[in-house]
Amino acid sequence: MKFWVRNCVLGLGAALATLPVVSSASVIISGTRVIYPANESEVIVALRNEGQTPILAQVWLEKSAEGVRPNKESVPFVLTPPMVRIESGSGQSIRVTQAGAKELPQDRESVFWFNVLEIPPRDQKGEGLNRVKVAFRSAVKLFYRPSGLPGNPIEAARGLRWSAVSTGGSYTLRATNSAAYAVNVGQVSVTVGGKTISNIEGATVLPMQSYDFKLKGLSSMPNEVSYKWVNDYGAGVDQTTPLSR
Q: Is 241 exposed, middle or buried (0-12, 13-18, 19+ CB in 10 A)?
A: middle
Task: Tell the CATH superfamily of the 153-242 domain.
Answer: Immunoglobulins (2.60.40.10)
Higher pLDDT, 244 or 179: 179
pLDDT band at 73 (very low <50, low <70, confident <90, very high): confident
CB atoms within 10 A of CB 49: 21
Domain range annotation of the chain = 2-145, 153-242
Count the alpha carbons within 13 Å of 146 in the hemisphere toward its beta carbon: 19
Assign a CATH topology to domain 2-145. Answer: Immunoglobulin-like (2.60.40)
Q: What are the residues facing 77 on neighbouring strands?
A: 98
Q: Which amino acid is at 79?
A: L
With a cut of 90, say whether residue 236 has pLDDT above it: yes
Q: Is 201 exposed, middle or buried (0-12, 13-18, 19+ CB in 10 A)?
A: exposed
The reply to whether 2-145 and 153-242 are identical in fold is yes
Digit-coded pLDDT (tens) for 150-159: 999 999 999 9
8-state DSSP, 124: G
Q: What are the residues facing 101 on neighbouring strands?
A: none
pTM attached to this predicted model: 0.83
Digit-coded pLDDT (tens) for 2-46: 433 333 333 333 333 333 434 456 899 988 999 999 999 999 999
With a cut of 70, say whether residue 97 has pLDDT above it: yes
What is the pLDDT, as a whole number, of residue 3?
Answer: 38
pLDDT band at 193 (very low <50, low <70, confident <90, very high): confident
